[in-house]
Chain A
Amino acid sequence: MSGVLVVGGGIAGTAAALAAARAGARVTLLDGGTGATTLSTGALDDVPWAQTAQTPALPRPPPATATRAVLEALDAYAVPDAGAGIATTAGVLRPARGHDLALLDLRPFASGRLGVVRCDRPDWDAAALARAWGAGFTPLEATVLRHVDERLLPAADFAARHDDEARLGWLAERLRAALSRARARFDALLLPPSLGVERERARALSARVGLPCGEAAGLPGGPSGLRFERARDRALAAAQVEHLRGRATAVEREGSPWRVALAEGTALEATAVVLAAGGLVGGGLAYTPGDAAEASVLPPGSREPFHLALRAPGVRLGAHGRPLELPGSLFGIPPESLAWPFTADALMDRVGALVDDDGRAAPGLYLAGEMVADAHRTWLRALESGLRAGSSAARDALSATAERSPSAFAAPSSRP
């Protein structure tokens, strides 16, 4: 039996597990596979970036110590105090609170000359992107593809090729050759999402080229999500968190410990549980419209269209601070209130479990990340909610251990 069981391996679950382990609890993390975090493009936000772009002058508090600790444990991200500037393959320059270390932060090169490295891949038209990003960006003629098939490889598979030391050396040589051919001087080089999967290789490449090199943020589903998974696995192992693969189907409590049933029929027990299985994208929340059941003529009637994907008695869903209500129409909730783009804060974007300030939905049961109602669906907010839920759960687990056998309390605290 664990002290704390975390369900969900995204950034919220990872932060919860690391926080609980740091507080001294025995932690197990149950990971059901790729969710919204692994769809991250590598640009990290606290509030949606369009809001930041509208008020760039507002001061931004530095990340809390606990947040810093998680970022250090992952060793794959930077959150500069001044924020970051990221170029995206959609042709936008966007502010970000932080970034995957493989991404090039443009802030230091505000008046510099940036080379957009030519690479014949579908999402990377260097000339068009340089024009879209504006003054200061110039295409740089170079060879990045080594084999014909690389033109159409998925971005993550292409990036994995640069995990190889020799291949990275080859790329560095090509870039150095391109720089010496180019008449102009460059301050930094932008590449498509391609720099490694096992670890980011931007720092290694920069050292070899002698110039800061980094990625632009691509589409969701690129290498940044895979780099997160690798960084998470390393961080969890270092913190001695037990990492299991599997999908939870129900959370129940009979007597003292929580019992989490798994899809394959087994169950896990824990004193405290953190649910961070994601929202609609991650699969922690599900949507069923009014007439999804087989109905020959009319829909069977109204019910709440949202529910948790795993059974957790006592957890109430809501949005805008209120519990969900039955829709007033046989056809369910009208799409006008449900989904983007009808309203700026569509129900689909706000719905989740109602929790208190500690992330608690019931005694010993905590929720984090996109499963929680009304949270901004951003990477750093998910991390913070994971921290909150993880440290609260650890408190519950440790006080329970202390009550049962005071001597057991010594074991976790001997960890680094």
Chain B
Amino acid sequence: MQVADGPASSDADVYDVAIIGGGVNGTGVARDLALRGLKVVLFERNDLAFGASGNSSGMIHGGVRYLSSAPHVTEQSCRDSGYIQHIAPHLLFRMPFLMPVKSSRQARVMFELIDAYFRAYDDYQPLKHGQPHCRLDPGELSRLEPGLRGSIVGGISFDEWGIDGARLCVLNALDAILHGGRVHVHTTVERVARTPGEDESGGARYLVEARDRTTQERIRACARVVVNATGAWTTITAALGGLPQERVRVRPGKGIHVFIDRRVTNYGIVSETIDGRQIFLYPWQNMSVIGTTDDDYYGDLDDVHATSEEVRYLVQGVARVFPSVRAARAIGTWAGVRPTLYAYGPNEDALSREHEVVDHAGDGAPGVYSMVGGKLASYRIFAQELSDLVARREFESAVPCSTHIRPLPGGESVPDALGMAERYAMTPVAVRRVVYRHGAIASRILERTARRPAEREVICPCEPVMEAEVRHVVREELACTVDDVARRTRLGLGACGGMRCAARCGQIVAEERGLSPSQGLVMAREFLVRQARTRVVAMGPEQARQEALALAHTRASLGET
């Protein structure tokens, strides 16, 4: 570890804990420690939930796949799913799945085995308020999902919960801020160094130097503890602090999802790919999602995108049981890199998704911790494990974890959307979506529109998103660009690909941030280019026409890139 030159803390703010990484692990830890009364600062290089957290399957699942190998993981996952439903009731939605069993020589045995497996899973379902599984005959299956094809001997249903992962990160970060924390987005940490004259009695030991990537302003922060929660970037971050990289190796696993413009099924459907991996087609918010792949990835982590081969692999896999998915219109892809624990040899799926806290005291850096691995569904437990350790060992704090009891911002209660729609004379669909995203805070956003009727304007008709919500996320939720607004509100991520809303959203963001209108249009164009890039890999014959139209449209109204 390097030693900072000069009196480090003179122009730096002093914190208890500096957290690097604004994914679900980083924001989860920030919230946990802030709720325990510690002063935290968080640095995120891109935007909150930019990496794997915002590009995950969007599920708080019960860890059914660990049932045979590590049932305690399943139990823990299910219990935590219950906690998350308690702290963010507005953000979760039920996702029932169907698992058809295709006929084969061992089909009857397979069916019995699957049935028995899920019977065991049923024991944990009450922890997460899930329904027990059902055994279905082929007739019942095709009544529930008429699009299922092929010779199917039967199937089962099981129950999971969906969530918007990006919003989960944002809410955790907001709660950390509400409890005295500081969050810097679009700010990259360039150096972590020991402060000279280190103080073993409890003062700051580390100086974190960061740079705001938009304003180029330098930010310095001193902290007693540094937490590296940078997911797939973990190894890179460790190198910044001069830590041995082999201590925090991750095996980066790229996963992509394909999005279809509408909900094409009522139930999630489990299918198998050509190489025998399990994949899903499931309705998620306003669309259907197919996921996911798992491949080693060693490319640029700031610029991960799906390839057409990956898209075809997924579509072909689902088409084995649900052929009409070929005719569905894909409107985009999400690509993220999981920070899987490092292991050599086994194929990607067999790698554990479990997590590990690495204490760097042995590397000559006491008070530096890395969070390696983890998944969206178990983020809270992972954050609690690390926070317990840090609070006890570094701050001798006996304050217990309360992240499973205290609601996230907006999670105190779920307001009645239909009643609010009537009260504010707005379309119920728009209000329903605001309530989904913001819970109890929705009433504050709608209150804005009562004072400023112009802000009731629906900017993004697909989702829908109204102007007041765009302004709210810029003011209150750290959104700086059109891309950030989209991550928080799903603006422009629907069927029209942002063609109708990006320019207007750019104007609003520019206005809120005191930028020129042309800077707003640049942001809009950057967003459209990013979205186009996620679409073209899933392009079919009809999509090609739409892509050509989108190009003509952008060229006509915003000029070329």
Identify which of residues 280-307 in chain A touch chain B, using a CB-to-CB cut-off of 8 Å. Answer: 280-281, 283, 286-289, 291-292, 294-297, 299
Q: Verify if A233 is at the interface (C-beta below 8 Å from B).
A: no
What separation, in Å, do the CA atoms of A84 and B415 have in the docked complex? 52
Chain A residues lying within 8 Å of B557, measured Cβ to Cβ, are 41, 88-90, 92, 217, 219
**In the bound complex, what is the Cα–Cα distance between A291 and B533 (angstroms)?**
20
Known contacts A48-B560, A92-B557, A92-B559: A122-B552 contact under CB 8 Å: no
Query: B511 in the interface, Cβ–Cβ < 8 Å?
Result: yes
Q: B536 contacts A281, CB within 8 Å?
A: no
Q: Which residues of A (89-142) have their CB < 8 Å from a CB of B?
A: 89-92, 94, 122, 125, 127-128, 131-134
Q: Is B561 an interface residue (CB 8 A)?
A: yes
CB of B277 within 8 A of chain A? no
Q: Is A348 an interface residue (CB 8 A)?
A: yes
A281-B552 contact, Cβ under 8 Å, with A134-B517, A335-B537, A342-B533: yes
Complex Cα–Cα for A122 and B533 (A): 28
A48, B536: Cβ atoms closer than 8 Å: no
CB contacts under 8 Å to B, within A241-296, are 279-281, 283, 286-289, 291-292, 294-296
Q: Mark B507-549, 1 if CB is under 8 A from A, else 0.
A: 1100100000100110010001100110011011100110111
Residues of A within 8 A of B560 (CB): 48, 50-51, 344
Q: Does B274 contact A (CB under 8 A)?
A: yes
Most A CB contacts (10 A, CB to CB) among B274, B461, B554, B555 go to: B555
Q: Which of B308, B521, B548 contacts A92 (CB 8 A)?
A: B521
Q: Which residues of A contact B550 (CB under 8 A)?
A: 340
| Contact assessment for B553 and A220 in the assembled complex, using a CB-CB cutoff below 8 Å | yes
Assess A125 versus B457: contact at CB under 8 Å? Given A335-B308, A335-B536.
yes
Contact A36 B507 (CB under 8 A): no
How many whole Å from A371's CB to the nearest CB in chain B? 13
The answer to the question of A145 belonging to the interface, with a C-beta cut-off of 8 Å to chain B, is no
Residue of A nearest to B528 (CB): A341
Contact A90 B551 (CB under 8 A): no
For the complex formed, measure the closest distance between the CB of A33 and the CB atoms of chain B, giving whole angstroms. 14
Give chain A residues whose Cβ lies under 8 Å from the Cβ of B520: 91, 132
Quick one: closest A residue to B517, CB to CB? A132
Please, which residues of chain B bring their CB within 8 A of the CB of A133? 517
* List of A residues within 8 angstroms of B499 by Cβ: 219
**B545 lies within 8 A of A49 (CB):** no
B551 touching A340, Cβ below 8 Å: yes
With an 8 A cutoff between CB atoms, is B500 at the interface?
yes
The answer to the question of A349 belonging to the interface, with a C-beta cut-off of 8 Å to chain B, is yes
Q: Is B558's CB within 8 Å of the partner chain A? A: yes
Q: How far is the CA of A219 from the CA of B552 in the complex (A)?
A: 11
Interchain nearest-CB distance for B144 vs A (Å): 25
Instruction: Name the interface residues of A299-345: CB closer than 8 Å to any CB of B.
Output: 299, 331-332, 334-335, 338-342, 344
**Minimum CB–CB distance for A148 against chain B, Å:** 13
Pair B561/A281 contact, Cβ less than 8 Å: no
- The reply to whether the CB of A53 lies closer than 8 angstroms to some CB of chain B is yes
Q: Which residues of A contact B98 (CB under 8 A)?
A: none
Question: How long is the Cα–Cα vector from A349 to B554 in the complex, in angstroms?
Answer: 13
Q: Which residues of B contact A132 (CB under 8 A)?
A: 507, 517, 520
CA distance A370 to B517 in the complex (A): 33
Let me know if A331 and B308 touch, CB within 8 A: yes
Contact B541 A340 (CB under 8 A): no
Q: For chain A, which range describes its interface: under 10, 10 to 19, 20 to 34, or 35 or more residues?
A: 35 or more
CA distance A128 to B529 in the complex (A): 24
Q: Is the interface of A mostly helix, strand, loop or mixed?
A: loop
- Beta-carbon contact of B517 and A297 below 8 Å: no
Pick the contact of A286 from B504, B511, B521, B541 — CB < 8 Å?
A: B541
Among B308, B508, B532, find the residue whose CB has the most chain A CB atoms closer than 10 A. B308
Contacts of A338 in B (CB 8 A): 536, 539
- Give the contacts of A340-395 with B (CB-CB under 8 A): 340-342, 344, 346, 348-349, 377
- List residues of chain B with CB within 8 A of the CB of A128: 504, 507-508, 511
Asked if B458 is an interface residue, CB under 8 A from chain A, the answer is yes
Cα separation A43 to B557 with both chains bound (whole Å):
10
A279 and B548 contact, CB distance less than 8 A: yes
> Is the CB–CB distance between A331 and B556 below 8 Å?
no
**A39 contacts B by Cβ under 8 Å:** yes
Contact between B544 and A219 (Cβ–Cβ < 8 Å)?
Answer: no
Complex: A66 Cα to B555 Cα, angstroms: 27
Contact B312 A299 (CB under 8 A): yes
On whether the beta carbons of B555 and A48 are closer than 8 Å, the reply is yes
Give, as a whole number of angstroms, the nearest-CB distance from A179 to chain B: 23
Would A340 and B558 be within 8 Å (CB), given that A132-B517, A220-B552 are in contact?
no
- From residue 437 to 458 of chain B, which have CB atoms closer than 8 A to chain A? 454, 457-458
Partner of B308, one of A125, A334, A348: A334
Task: Please tell me if B265 contacts chain A, counting CB pairs below 8 Å.
Answer: no
Q: Is the CB of A287 within 8 A of B544?
A: yes
Taking A48-B560, A91-B503, A344-B560 as contacts, is the C-beta distance between A280 and B545 under 8 angstroms?
Answer: yes
- Which of A94, A291, A297, A348 sits near B548, CB closer than 8 Å? A348
From 34 to 80 in chain A, residues with beta carbon under 8 angstroms from any chain B beta carbon are 36, 39, 41, 43, 48-51, 53
A340 to B497, CA, bound (A): 14
- A residues near B454, Cβ cutoff 8 Å: 125, 127
Query: Given A340-B532, A341-B561, A342-B533, are A50 and B548 also a contact pair (CB < 8 Å)?
Result: no
Question: Once bound together, how far apart are the Cα atoms of A90 and B523, in whole Å?
Answer: 13
Q: Contacts A219-B500, A339-B539 given; indicate if A50 touches B551 (C-beta within 8 A).
A: no
A297 is contacted by which of B316, B532, B536 (Cβ under 8 Å)?
B316
* Contact residues in B for A49 (Cβ distance below 8 Å): 555, 559
Whether B544 pairs with A348 at a CB distance below 8 angstroms is yes
Provide the B449-481 mask, 1 if CB < 8 A to any CB of A, else 0. Answer: 000001001100100000000000000000000
CA–CA, A292 and B316, complex, Å: 11
Most buried by A among B320, B557, B561: B557
Distance from B306 Cβ to chain A, minimum over Cβ atoms (Å): 10
Give chain A nearest CB distance to B205 CB in angstroms.
Answer: 46
Q: Assess whether B559 is in contact with A348, with CB atoms less than 8 Å apart.
A: no
B309 contacts partner chain A, Cβ-Cβ < 8 Å = yes
A91 touches B507 (CB 8 A): yes
Question: B554 — which chain A residues lie within 8 A by C-beta?
Answer: 340
Chain B residues whose CB sits within 8 angstroms of the CB of A220 once the complex forms = 549, 552-553, 556
Contact: A280 with B521, CB < 8 Å?
A: no
Please state if B532 and A341 are interface contacts (CB–CB under 8 Å).
yes
Q: How far is the CB of A324 from chain B (nearest CB, A)?
A: 15
Residue among A90, A128, A377 facing the most chain B CB atoms (10 A cut-off): A90
A6 smallest CB distance to B (angstroms): 22
Residue of A nearest to B529 (CB): A341
By a CB distance below 8 angstroms, the chain B residues around A39 are 549, 552
Interface centre among A132, A134, A294 (most CB of B within 10 A): A132
State whether A280 and B548 are in contact (beta carbons under 8 Å apart), knowing that A219-B500, A339-B536, A341-B533 are contacts in the complex. Answer: yes
Q: Cβ of B539: which chain A residues have Cβ within 8 Å of it?
A: 287, 289, 335, 338-339
Q: Closest CB-CB distance, A57 to chain B, in whole Å?
A: 18
Residues of chain B within 8 A (CB-CB) of A92 are 503, 521, 557-559
- Contact of A50 (CB < 8 Å), options: B308, B312, B545, B559: B559
User: Cβ of A289 and Cβ of B547 under 8 Å apart?
Assistant: no
CA distance in complex: A199, B551 (Å):
29
Provide the bound-state CA to CA distance between A134 and B537, in Å: 38
**Residues from chain B with Cβ under 8 Å of A331 in the complex:** 308-309, 312
Against B, the Cβ 8 Å flags (1 = close, 0 = not) of A199-219 are: 000000000000000000101
Known: A90-B504, A280-B544, A339-B544. 4 other contacts (CB 8 A): A217-B557, A219-B553, A220-B552, A294-B326
Residues of B participating in the A interface, judged by any CB pair closer than 8 Å: 274, 308-309, 312, 316, 320, 326, 454, 457-458, 461, 499-500, 503-504, 507-508, 511, 517, 520-521, 524, 528-529, 532-533, 536-537, 539-541, 544-545, 547-561
Please list 11 pairs of residues, one from A and one from B, whose beta carbons are closer than 8 Å in the complex, sorted by A's number.
Answer: A48-B555, A50-B559, A90-B504, A90-B524, A132-B517, A220-B556, A296-B316, A296-B320, A335-B308, A340-B550, A349-B548
The 7 closest A-B pairs by CB, nearest first: A50-B559, A287-B544, A280-B548, A90-B557, A90-B503, A132-B517, A341-B529
